[in-house]
Amino acid sequence: MAIISCPGCGKKVSDKAATCDHCGFMLGAHDSESLARKSRLQRSQQLSRLVSQQMLAILLFIAGIGAFFYDWGTTGMGPWIPYIGGVLAAISFIWYLITRGRIYILKKQR
C-alpha cells in the first residue's frame, strides 16, 4: 500500500482507496500510473510556483533594503519611505523563509 496525493484535492490518500476521504474523488476510476503521473505533474507545478514566489520575495527584499538606505529627502512622504522599505524588507524576508521551507518539504516528499 502506498500513500499518494489525491488528484482532486492534493491531500494524502491510500492508493488502495476507491474514493478520496477528503473530497470524494473517484480514485478507482484511474489506474495507479496515471494517478502517479498526475501527482508528479501537480508537484512540479507547485514547485515552479513556489520558486517564482521565492524570486519575488528576494526582489521585494532588495527593493525594501534599497528604499531603507536611499535618501528620500525630508519633504512630503520622504521621511516615511525608509520605514515602509524596512517593513517591506522584513515581510519579504519572512515570506522568503516560508517559501524556502515549503520547497524543502515538497522536495522531501516522494
Task: Return residues touching Zn ion (CB under 5 A).
Answer: 6, 8-9, 20, 22-23, 25
C-beta closer to Zn ion: residue 20 or 57: 20
C-beta closer to Zn ion: residue 17 or 58: 17
Residue 56, classed as helix, strand or coil, is: helix
User: Minimum CB separation from Zn ion for residue 108, in Å?
Assistant: 21
Residue 14, classed as helix, strand or coil, is: strand
Asked if 83 and 69 touch (Cβ cutoff 8 Å), the reply is no
User: Minimum CB separation from Zn ion for residue 5, in Å?
Assistant: 9
Burial class of residue 60, CB neighbours in 10 A (0-12, 13-18, 19+): middle
User: Minimum CB separation from Zn ion for residue 105, in Å?
Assistant: 19
